Amino acid sequence: MKNAKQRTGSLLVALALLGAGGLLSLMAGGGAARAQGDDKLRADILSIDELKKFGPLTQPPVVFLHDKHTAALGKQKQFYKKECGTCHLSDKDGTMFLAYQRDDKPMDADRIKETFHANCIGCHKKMAEDGMKAGPTDVQCKGCHNGNPDVASNWQPLVVDKKLHYRHAATQAESENKCGACHHIYDEAAGKTIAAPAPEKVPGACVYCHTESGTDVKGRKPEKIRSLRLATHGECVTCHRSIAAAGGKDVATGPTTCAGCHGPLDQKAIAETSRKKVPADADLRIKRGQPDFALVRPVKAEKPLVGADGKPIKDYGMPPVPFDHKYHESKNETCVSCHHAALTSCAACHTPAGDEKGGYVPLEAAMHKVEALQSCAGCHAAQQKKPECAGCHASMKKGVGDVSQCGSCHVPPQGALEQSVAEFMERRDKDAAAMAPGLAEKLLAGKRSETATIAVEDIPETVTLGSLAKDYQPSVLPHRKIVLSLVAGMKGDKLAGAFHATDTTVCQGCHHMSPASKTPPRCGNCHPAVEGTAATPRPTLKAAYHNQCMNCHTAMGISGKVADKAPGAKPVPKSTDCTGCHAAKKN
Amino acid sequence: MKRRHFLGLLGAAGVTLTTGTKAKASDAADVAGLPNAFGVLFDASRCIGCRKCEAACNTVNELPKPDKPFDDLTVLDTERRTTATAYTVVDKYTPKAGENPVFRKIQCNHCMEPACASACFVKALKKTETGAVVYDASLCVGCRYCMVACPFNIPAYEYNKALTPRVMKCTMCYPRIKEGKLPGCVEACPKEALQFGRRRDLLNIAWDRITANTDKYVSHVYGEHEMGGTSWLYIAPKPSFAALGMDEHLGTTPAPELTAGALTAVPAVVGIWPVLLTGLYAVSKRKDRIAEEEKKAAVEAAIAKASAEAEAKLAEELTKAEVAGKRRIEVEVKKALEAAAKTSEGGEDA
């Protein structure tokens, strides 16, 4: 535990931690790998293909099973006292390098090849001589360079979700600097990284500094910031091992094997343990002094605007967006879900015009880009892919394409709030920041939190579609049942409630492109009954009916299934089941 | 015959190929552009695999009833191709395991510059002003070069008919179009997965649909440029057209350009067969690999290299040649050209 707190500065991890206790965790790790059930599906597959950066490979990459090797090492107590040191070198301070049998200095292709060949085969040979089971020892390339391995990867990325974060925080609760155990910052004066001294100094997620490929910061010492992979493997695994080493086998600690973190079954086990260990009423919120409510500011004009009549006019286009930060936190597992690059405001990187820092994504797009999961519109669009929502939303415009939805986020201030909002938009100082949460809360107060629709008796019970009936009898649509089951699917969904702003909004799923009303126009008004030879983007009536019904059934995943809970309920007709919707005509 | 004599003849073919006018296939040249031609847009994301189009095609064209009825959807479990009695078939694909299947309708694509028509030396196949590529059985000699030439493997042959076998393929319901009606399959489609109209309008509709749903569709209209463009256009859901069994490497050169030289620039009966066959060979190879273009360039380069030296010798050779000798030359030239083609192919593979 003590070690874990001090472990902050150096490039790689202190190997000094590894003692006899580490051996136990290794053996336990072997058990975890086996517990994956199917040995052919593994999370510990490393592809040794380092030479590919020098050009095309002449041999298939070597499939290396890391857990299998560490487990084998754990069993050979006498022979392998060096443990990790068997494969990984360390520098004079005892810092371990993660690359195999070499330090982090660049090496040419021939030497890398020689390192693997000499050490892998050498070790296998030595073990075989000592009468132990060993890997390939001959000089046949295919023994290791197997292009068709009989194992496949079931590796899953690991996410430190809120529950896991809570559990880690709980184990550090007694320490003097609980956040600093994992979160470190760079200290200019000291010229090295130090433990983050206070919660508000925590830089946020590891990925903010430890990017996927690692970065070099000129003038900083050390210049190199490890990649996320090296940082997490170095820090997490070492800490888990050190706790086990210090406390012996009775101390619960985290996984130390590949499968332990990345195996699907182990991940399930972690989630299960979290469920037991985290009290139901626990506050999972990751606190870093963030506000409960925020007011997102639209872009303001650079110069004061003057109208034709000489009077000053409002110099920002849209009303600000009140944002329930606390509620959104409860709906996301990590801060990275939205704050993907840093825990700063979006505008710090996404300038109005777009900037290199923000990948040239301008502020407007950062909020509205439908393809990006970190943007408001993008995340909301992703929510619409849930089966309960997808029926209506599959064929609807998403994000900024639907301008009728602007007011759902850019809530127009009413009455006294209008003045306050104008004042907020004018001010750029601390006072503005102070007034934002309260103002946002007031603006949000009027929003729906539950989807509702028109009174049940006003919803037609059945609708008969018969204008095209020729080969089949008219189709009788259980209209009311459909509406009510759609509304039931949205029960308790605050997002749906907020955006289905009026009682007739849900009707628009089918009765689209026309004014929302209790008595929407008939489909045939817009969709011609006869298909002509001049192609138009608007479907004809037959296609309009079929598209609307079938696409919805397919998108909701209920095609051919019994969706109704009533006894004796029929399955929802499959697209190709004509008589499921309209009975056959008897001639 | 001596080696340099082959080269001489080879050179003659090369000279006519390279110095001849840049003529396209005669049929294709007649219809280039066809601004008002009709087409059909197939949207694979809308097709539900109901086989109504197959049934309608069967009825409209008065084809024999199939072994299994059209409402038997188990047929879709087997990958099929068009036959002499089924001008269109629907195949099922599952691009992502566990997700809903996607369907593709297969029929004649009615190329803007059809390879079949350019391969047909009796003009039994013709691109019409409506966009449809139609077939006249009374002209057909049954050589089946159209079947070899088609990059989409569409035309089928009535092998079971001893006396009057025909080449069979979708006609885009040419007779119905002339009457102002829709093709049978289009009319029958319950989902408007098939849409009939002016090809240029369909292109606009296709791109509008893609642009409005960039996360859903592959950003490509198949047939807009493939093999110089086809009247039948396809749009498909992600991940790719290849996931629907479609060849994404056909390139954009109209097929006739590969054989046009052969058709228009070599007038003599002596020369036409080997050159035509080489052209057809090129087309069929093209189905496999886009690298064909490189090969063609290599063949041309080889021919051109030999041509200067050979030109004079050809004249000499031709005057010397007796009527009895001509037949022999013909055979030799064919061999030489095949050898040249093989050499260049081999060199490319190496």
Specify the length of chain B in residues: 350
Is the pLDDT at A273 greater than 50? The verdict is: yes
Distance CA A175, CA A169 (A): 10
Residue type, A176: E
Is the pLDDT at B178 greater than 50? The verdict is: yes
Model confidence pLDDT, tens digit, residues B89-132: 999 999 988 888 999 999 999 999 999 999 999 999 999 999 99
Is the pLDDT at B194 greater than 50? The verdict is: yes
Q: Nearest CA to B215 among A369, A553, A374?
A: A369
Residue type, A79: F
More confident residue, A418 or A300: A418
The pLDDT assigned to B285 comes to 59
Residue A454 Cα distances to A450, A458, A478, A486, A508, angstroms: 13, 7, 17, 13, 12
Is the pLDDT at B315 greater than 90? The verdict is: no
Least-confidence region, from A448-457, B186-195, B222-231, B309-318: B309-318
Matching residue, tokens 């005669």: B26
Is the pLDDT at B278 greater than 90? The verdict is: no
Matching residue, tokens 């296609």: A543
The pLDDT assigned to B269 comes to 44
Residue B279 Cα distances to A200, B150, B251, B255, angstroms: 75, 13, 17, 10
Model confidence pLDDT, tens digit, residues B152-164: 999 999 999 888 8
Please give, rounded to a whole number of angstroms, the shortest distance from the CA of B11 to a CA of chain A: 41
The pLDDT assigned to B69 comes to 96
Residue B24 Cα distances to B38, B117, B126, B299, angstroms: 22, 12, 14, 19
Model confidence pLDDT, tens digit, residues B20-29: 344 444 444 4
Picking from B41, B180, B189, the nearest residue to A533 by CB comes out as: B180
- In sequence order, the β-bridge partners of residue B156 are B168
Q: Is B69 helix (H, G, I), strand (E, B) or coil?
A: coil
Please list every residue in chain B whose beta carbon sits closer than 8 Å to the beta carbon of residue A550: 48, 191
The pLDDT assigned to B326 comes to 63
Residue A248 Cα distances to A97, A233, A256, angstroms: 25, 21, 14
Model confidence pLDDT, tens digit, residues A81-132: 567 788 888 877 777 788 898 888 889 999 999 999 999 999 899 888 888 8
Model confidence pLDDT, tens digit, residues A381-412: 999 999 999 999 988 877 776 777 888 899 99
Least-confidence region, from A331-345, A482-496, B29-43: B29-43
Whether B205 sits inside 8 A of A542 (CB atoms) is no
Contact A555, A390 (CB under 8 A): yes
Contact A200, A288 (CB under 8 A): yes
Radius of gyration of chain B (CA): 22
Please give, rounded to a whole number of angstroms, the shortest distance from the CA of B159 to a CA of chain A: 34
Helix H, strand E, coil C: the string for A374-394 is CCHHHHHHHHCCCHHHHHHHC
Residue B309 Cα distances to A121, A548, B303, B313, angstroms: 62, 71, 11, 7
Whether B215 sits inside 8 A of A370 (CB atoms) is yes
- Using N-to-C axis directions, what is the helix angle for A416-426 and A430-445, rounded to 10°? 150
The pLDDT assigned to A36 comes to 43
Mean of the per-residue pLDDT values of chain B: 81
The pLDDT assigned to B280 comes to 62
Structure tokens at B233: 């256009």
Phi, psi of A300 (to 5 degrees): -100, 145
The pLDDT assigned to A405 comes to 82
With a CB cutoff of 8 Å and minimum separation 6, the contacts of B82 are: B88, B89, B106, B107, B108, B154, B156, B169, B170
pLDDT above 90 coverage of chain B, percent: 56
Contact B170, B186 (CB under 8 A): no
With a CB cutoff of 8 Å and minimum separation 6, the contacts of A209 are: A203, A215, A225
Contact A45, A257 (CB under 8 A): no
Picking from B38, B180, B187, the nearest residue to A531 by CB comes out as: B187
* ipTM of predicted assembly, 2 dp: 0.72
Please give, rounded to a whole number of angstroms, the shortest distance from the CA of A48 to a CA of chain B: 29
What CA dihedral angle connects B299, B305, B311 and B314, to 10 degrees?
Answer: -50
Distance CA A558, CA A569 (A): 13
Neighbours of A85 (CB within 10 A): 14
Picking from A370, A535, A542, the nearest residue to B195 by CB comes out as: A535
Q: Is A33 helix (H, G, I), strand (E, B) or coil?
A: helix
Distance CA A199, CA A47 (A): 39
**Which of A546, A549, A582 to mutate: most B Cβ within 10 Å?**
A546
Contact A392, A552 (CB under 8 A): yes
Contact B49, B76 (CB under 8 A): yes
**Which of B50, B200, B205 to mutate: most A Cβ within 10 Å?**
B50
* Banded pLDDT at B32 (limits 50, 70, 90): low
Percent of chain B that is helix, strand, coil (3-state, to 5): 45, 10, 40
* Banded pLDDT at A172 (limits 50, 70, 90): confident
E runs forming strands in chain B: 38-43, 89-93, 102-106, 125-127, 133-135, 156-157, 167-168, 194-198, 232-235
Distance CA A364, CA A575 (A): 40
* Banded pLDDT at B10 (limits 50, 70, 90): very low
Q: Nearest CA to A323 among A498, A206, A548, A118?
A: A498
pLDDT above 90 coverage of chain A, percent: 50
Whether B182 sits inside 8 A of A533 (CB atoms) is yes
Determine the average pLDDT of the residues in B174-203. 96
Picking from B38, B48, B73, the nearest residue to A550 by CB comes out as: B48
* Banded pLDDT at B136 (limits 50, 70, 90): very high
Whether A547 sits inside 8 A of B214 (CB atoms) is no
The pLDDT assigned to A6 comes to 42
More confident residue, A448 or A104: A448
Dihedral angle sign, alpha carbons of residues A465, A467, A471, A474: positive
Distance CA A391, CA A385 (A): 9
Least-confidence region, from A51-55, B82-86, B309-313: B309-313
* Banded pLDDT at A32 (limits 50, 70, 90): very low
Determine the average pLDDT of the residues in A551-570. 88
End-to-end Cα, chain B, rounded Å? 30
Determine the average pLDDT of the residues in A275-288. 92
Please give, rounded to a whole number of angstroms, the shortest distance from the CA of A354 to a CA of chain B: 22
The pLDDT assigned to A217 comes to 87
The pLDDT assigned to A1 comes to 40
Q: Is B105 helix (H, G, I), strand (E, B) or coil?
A: strand
Q: Is B27 exposed, middle or buried (0-12, 13-18, 19+ CB in 10 A)?
A: buried
Can the peptide bond before residue B239 be classed as cis, meaning omega within 30 degrees of 0?
yes
pTM of the full structure = 0.74
Q: Nearest CA to A420 among A347, A334, A510, A320?
A: A320
Least-confidence region, from A75-84, A302-311, B97-106: A75-84
The pLDDT assigned to B266 comes to 41
More confident residue, B344 or B192: B192
Distance CA B221, CA B235 (A): 5
Residue type, B221: V
Contact B266, B9 (CB under 8 A): no
Least-confidence region, from A345-354, B20-29, B288-297: B20-29
* Banded pLDDT at B256 (limits 50, 70, 90): confident
E runs forming strands in A298-355: 305-306, 312-313, 321-324
* Banded pLDDT at A429 (limits 50, 70, 90): confident
Does the beta carbon of A539 lie under 8 angstroms from any beta carbon of chain B? yes
The pLDDT assigned to A398 comes to 76
Does the beta carbon of A512 lie under 8 angstroms from any beta carbon of chain B? no
DSSP of B185-202: HHHH-TT-SEEEEEHHHH
The pLDDT assigned to B14 comes to 45
What CA dihedral angle connects A185, A188, A190 and A193, to 10 degrees?
Answer: 20
E runs forming strands in A66-140: 95-96
Determine the average pLDDT of the residues in A472-497. 94
The pLDDT assigned to A542 comes to 95
Distance CA B302, CA B305 (A): 5
The pLDDT assigned to B288 comes to 62
H-type alpha helices, B255-291: 256-264, 269-288
Picking from B205, B212, B215, the nearest residue to A535 by CB comes out as: B205
